Structure 1
Amino acid sequence: MDKEATCSKSNGTVEGNYYEILGCDQKASFFELKRNYQQLIKKYHPDKHEGSSSTSEKFIAIDKAYKTLMDENSRKDYDTSLLKRDFDEHFLIHVELSQSELDFSEDDTALYLCRCGENFVIHKKDLNEGGYVMECFQCSNSILIK
């Protein structure tokens, strides 16, 4: 648990992601999240550090991270936002699609036309709940499927 929440002095926003705040890997189980949360919440509890605004900000960040990651739906949404942020930094995302927008054939494949004219061939088995990015074989565009 070397990674801790750090807060910006100017606006109190949390830097880093919720997994880092809790000192966990993104694939951490609910048990691991809870264990780390309990240890950190004791360490940064405001009653132990009266008058320390940075400790209070860490406490709030830890609590917010835990509440988000312990709710299954919130965690899925958060993981999707992390994935999108990561891909936005590394890929040129041409379009974002939901799985419901794709028309899968009987062999569980769907086609999506890239702006360069090439087809993306999407296999249903490759899709996951967190999101899936495909790069076009002809150009540098990618699609994100949620």
Structure 2
Amino acid sequence: MSLDYYTVLRSSRTSSFEEIKRNYKELIKRYHPDKQVVSSDEQFKLIDAAWKTLRDEELRRKYDAVLMEKELEEQYLVCGNSYAINKNFVGNECIIECEECSYVIVVRA
């Protein structure tokens, strides 16, 4: 998976708001353009964009959903088949088995 906002802020999806905020403050001090001899505008902008998304509860929830969707798209079966889940199971934790091979995935919502 490519670089994501959690990685930018040296956090994870399970990090608390306070932990993300603390990391943001440390990074913003380090990469602020006024503090740099060599320009780090791009890094500063990336840190700021990550913070603006992850500090807002609704934006963070949407961002997490996009990450989860990308992760699920990256999961593939060796046999070439695909996983399917009934919409009634969305929101619950469940194990989905491939009908063709022995692969299984755990879906947590």
Q: For residue 70 of structure 1, what is the amino acid of its counterpart? A: R
More strand by share: 1
Structure 2: gaps of 5 or more residues? 77-81
Task: Give the share of equivalent positions with the same residue, in percent.
Answer: 34
The residue aligned with 2:26 is 39
Deviation at 1:135, TM superposition (A): 2.8
Higher-Rg structure is 1
2:83, 2:97 within 8 Å by CA — same for their partners in 1? no
Instruction: Answer with 85-94 or 55-64: which moved more.
Output: 85-94
In 2: Cα distance, 1:93 partner to 1:137 partner: 6
Structure 1: gaps of 5 or more residues? 1-14, 103-109, 111-121, 128-132
Deviation at 1:134, TM superposition (A): 5.5
Aligned residues: 99
More helix by share: 2
Q: For residue 99 of structure 2, what is the amino acid of its counterpart? A: Q
In 2: Cα distance, 1:44 partner to 1:93 partner: 43
DSSP 3-state at the match of 2:65? helix
The residue aligned with 2:96 is 135
DSSP 3-state at the match of 1:62? helix
- TM superposition score normalised by structure 2: 0.73
Deviation at 1:35, TM superposition (A): 0.4
